[in-house]
Structure 1
Amino acid sequence: PNSAWTACSRLSPYIAWGHISIRTIWQNVEARRLEVKGGNWKRSLQAFLVRLQWRCNYCQRFEMRCWMEHRNVCSAWEHLLQGKTYVFGDVALLNGTTDEERLAAWERGRTGYPMVDACMRCLLQTGWLNFRMRCMLISFAVYNLWLDWRSIAGHLARVFLDYEPGIHYPQLQMQAGTTGCDLRCYSVLRQAKDQDPKGDFVRKYVEELAAVPGSAALEPWKLPAGTKLREAAAGYPPRIVDEVKTAKASKATVSALQQWFQQHRGRPTE
């Protein structure tokens, strides 16, 4: 999330709002690619063109399967749903919270997990976030907060400056696992350590942790009690759920669901 601001093309909002066409971008990138003799830059340009192809592919697939906005591709997920909550295991793991409370904490960036909250607050402030962190937000909402992906779809659509239905709903289902194929459960703590090892991104967007130095900002619950640093982070909320326990329960249930889906995928789900 730190380097993506200059390492990505940042064209997605302009494409989504119709300010520039895919054809125009393609022709210009292709012309530049032919000028470059070789090396990493040429490969990067080719990879960018592939991404444009994928974008068109997703939009066309959604045009043909627009029911994906409302229905799970893998219908077996519906049997887990109670209200807006997927019951992946013992509901005691949700610490007595309601689906409305968990959804509100996630939407406001008040989950108690700094990387999750920094990403959401970044979205609220700027309307943009790199792809991996978007995936992590969805993964956390579904696999850790056990929320129905449909309950988070509207909020993300409102805060994404580059909202495109043909990308939005297929990706929501893919990251949630409801396509019945891949299981994408991100460890938010691991992502924090891999993507923001010094805590710069967290401190920038989570003001309650702005005074916590280095990697300590990634795990404020480990700050020694009674210290100035702990006092500085006093306004930051406690963890809403246990990341490890909720993920373990959800992954076990989803893995079983996916096995069922693979065995019965010949049956129509549309």
Structure 2
Amino acid sequence: MNTNREEINIVWLKRDLRLQDNEAICNALKSKKRILFLYVFEHSLMDDAHYSERHWNFIKQSLVDMNDDLKALGTKILCVNSEVVTVFNQLLDYYKIDTVFSHQETGLLITYNRDKDFARYCRNNSINWIENNNNGVLRGLLNRDDWFEKWDNYMDAPQITYKIKADKFLKIDKIKNIERSFFVSDLTTKEDSVFQKGGTKMAWRYANGFFETRHKNYMYHISKPTLSRESSSRLSPYIAWGNVSIRQIYQKALTHKTEENKKHLGAFISRLRWQAHFIQKFEMEHTMEEASINKGYHKLKKSVSEVYQEAWRKGQTGFPLVDASMRCLNETGYLNFRMRSLLVSFFTHILWQPWQDATHHLSQQFLDFEPGIHFPQLQMQAAETGINNIRIYNPIKNSLDHDEEAVFIKKWVPELAKLTVAFIHEPYLMTTLDEHFNDFKLGENYPNPIVDGKIARKKASDILFNMRKNPDVISESYRILSKHTLSDRKKMLHTN
């Protein structure tokens, strides 16, 4: 080991893949020590069932985008395949490490345990580790009595600005020397991918297009599976992976908000707050990753059917809008909120499967997978919180209401495209003569419904509404309301 090692600071990038409004970078720049940017493609995370190649490609594109800007400063991000503690052990052969700067990550249990191990490692090696607030989500809260006010104050505060000077960073030749001791990550990705491409520059292309024109139909099209792809912001993956901060988007939205468009941009801004609300909930109660937040529902047992689950994952359930939604998600990584809710409701209510069994497939498909959104939303749509309305989505009604001309279904379930619109929504209504005239055979060209939707909905409704009366569910509902919502929401339980 070199005894004359330079002492440096490290900015450990995780879900904050941007150079602007990044508190970790700002704090690192205040030090007189030179800085090394680091991203670790952790084997344990890459093997975790919640992630898939589409996530890692998005991250790689984000890192390439950052490196493009860092090139002018004569530096780049050290991107390696390993585990975090292993990387730091190897870095200590080259440099002394004074401080590591990163953001507070509200992640999976695996990242929480990783962070505990890393904190122990830092203490044992006399390394400071400073974690910064991320998007207004606060650590260590006991309740939410003044959380909205704190979040608003965070969003209204000036964005973090700093001057980045080239002499503050390790130079590329030094980083290339370090790379000889590591398995360096290959950041190349396919150019012709159908997924949204990662990076801050791409994020602002979507943001500017939304604020300038596309927001005009935001609320009109928000529930439409086809139209929402154009009129929504499409910023969720860029927020999830930190290509932009919510504060940047929040403040940009305010600059565009007028009396004329306040309905649309006001609704968009409120959704930024609710996004943080759900992550805060997960931050305060991480057991939601594996079990229902309302312990009263732990006694709810459902029989697992691999046949049902496989049909759902492949979009072969015999319910056209459900299948179109799943196929679209599998191929593009994006689906609007209502269709996501429909997929979860169908899985947990119509198929009567445990929400935990939907976790991995959906997280792998969502390009914008964010643990703090994922698990609270799964449980809310599965109606296992005890504080939210029970919504059992009717796939046929939603199909008729939101895809009237079956445009979305025709695109993603092309085997139905030649049928009349009425039969596209409900192909099982065809008679033998209808099938003959349409050269179509239900059960061969497209599956029969795998369950009777009406019977399944009634069964789920009866069980779930009855459970709302269970003393354990009610007791837990009070606890959840007290911990995770404003105090006056306790009145809900008395009015439901």
Quickly name the TM-score band, shorter chain normalised: 0.7 to 0.9
Q: Which residue identity does 2:469 align to in structure 1?
A: Q
2:384 to 166, 178, 183: 178
Q: Which residue identity does 2:286 align to in structure 1?
A: C
CA–CA distance in structure 1, aligned partners of residues 479 and 262 of structure 2: 42
Judge conservation of contact 1:143–1:246 (CA < 8 Å) in 2: yes
Task: List per-residue Cα deviations over 1:18-46 (Å, max 9, x = no partner).
Answer: 2111111112111122xx3x12x122212
CA–CA distance in structure 1, aligned partners of residues 412 and 284 of structure 2: 39
Judge conservation of contact 2:329–2:365 (CA < 8 Å) in 1: yes
Structure number with greater Rg is 2
After superposition, where does 1:40-51 map in structure 2 within 5 Å?
A: 41-51=261-271
CA–CA distance in structure 2, aligned partners of residues 77 and 158 of structure 1: 26
Judge conservation of contact 1:173–1:179 (CA < 8 Å) in 2: yes
CA–CA distance in structure 1, aligned partners of residues 285 and 278 of structure 2: 10
Instruction: Choose between structure 1 and 2: higher helix proportion.
Output: 1
Partner of 1:185: helix, strand, or coil? Answer: coil
Change (3 A) 1:80 1:262: closer
Deviation at 1:64, TM superposition (A): 1.0
2:437 to 225, 228, 232: 228
Judge conservation of contact 2:238–2:244 (CA < 8 Å) in 1: yes
Change (3 A) 1:3 1:161: same
CA–CA distance in structure 2, aligned partners of residues 102 and 165 of structure 1: 25
CA–CA distance in structure 2, aligned partners of residues 205 and 259 of structure 1: 41
Judge conservation of contact 1:199–1:216 (CA < 8 Å) in 2: no
1:212 is aligned to 2:419: yes
1:238 is aligned to 2:412: no
Judge conservation of contact 1:111–1:239 (CA < 8 Å) in 2: yes
2:399 to 167, 192, 199: 192
Change (3 A) 1:188 1:230: farther
Larger mean CA deviation between 257-266 and 241-250 belongs to: 257-266
Larger mean CA deviation between 226-235 and 115-124 belongs to: 226-235
Partner of 1:162: helix, strand, or coil? Answer: coil
Partner of 1:264: 475
CA–CA distance in structure 2, aligned partners of residues 176 and 2 of structure 1: 24
Judge conservation of contact 1:144–1:250 (CA < 8 Å) in 2: yes
Deviation at 1:262, TM superposition (A): 5.4
Instruction: Choose between structure 1 and 2: higher strand proportion.
Output: 2
2:245 to 12, 21, 34: 21
Judge conservation of contact 1:59–1:166 (CA < 8 Å) in 2: yes
Deviation at 1:58, TM superposition (A): 1.1
Q: Which residue identity does 1:10 align to in structure 2?
A: R
1:106 to 297, 312, 324: 312
Partner of 2:357: 151
Q: Which residue identity does 1:60 align to in structure 2?
A: Q
**Higher relative contact order (CA closer than 8 Å, sequence separation 6+):** 1
Aligned length: 252
Task: List per-residue Cα deviations over 1:54-80 (Å, max 9, x = no partner).
Answer: 111111111111111111122233323
**Structure 1 consecutive aligned stretches of length 4 or more whose deviation exceeds 4 Å:** 266-270
Q: Which residue identity does 2:290 align to in structure 1?
A: H
1:60 is aligned to 2:280: yes
2:465 to 252, 255, 266: 255
CA–CA distance in structure 1, aligned partners of residues 473 and 349 of structure 2: 20
CA–CA distance in structure 2, aligned partners of residues 79 and 143 of structure 1: 16
CA–CA distance in structure 1, aligned partners of residues 237 and 380 of structure 2: 22
Judge conservation of contact 1:212–1:232 (CA < 8 Å) in 2: no
CA–CA distance in structure 2, aligned partners of residues 22 and 264 of structure 1: 35
Q: Which residue identity does 1:100 align to in structure 2?
A: E
Judge conservation of contact 2:296–2:473 (CA < 8 Å) in 1: no
Task: Tell me the TM-score normalised to structure 2 length.
Answer: 0.49
2:300 to 80, 88, 95: 80
Q: Which residue identity does 2:404 align to in structure 1?
A: P
Partner of 2:226: helix, strand, or coil? Answer: coil
Partner of 2:352: helix, strand, or coil? Answer: coil
Q: Which residue identity does 2:236 align to in structure 1?
A: S
Deviation at 1:266, TM superposition (A): 6.7
Judge conservation of contact 1:212–1:229 (CA < 8 Å) in 2: yes
Partner of 1:95: none
Task: Tell me the TM-score normalised to structure 1 length.
Answer: 0.88
Q: Which sections of structure 2, spanning at least 5 residues, go unmatched?
A: 1-224, 484-496
1:202 to 389, 409, 433: 409
CA–CA distance in structure 1, aligned partners of residues 297 and 438 of structure 2: 43
Change (3 A) 1:265 1:225: same
Partner of 2:457: helix, strand, or coil? Answer: helix
1:10 to 217, 234, 249: 234
Judge conservation of contact 1:136–1:186 (CA < 8 Å) in 2: yes
Deviation at 1:47, TM superposition (A): 1.6
Q: Which sections of structure 1, spanning at least 5 residues, go unmatched?
A: 86-97
Partner of 1:30: 254
CA–CA distance in structure 2, aligned partners of residues 119 and 58 of structure 1: 24
Task: List per-residue Cα deviations over 1:189-248 (Å, max 9, x = no partner).
Answer: 100110111111111101221221323201111122142325266410111000100110
Q: Which residue identity does 1:194 align to in structure 2?
A: D
Deviation at 1:163, TM superposition (A): 0.8
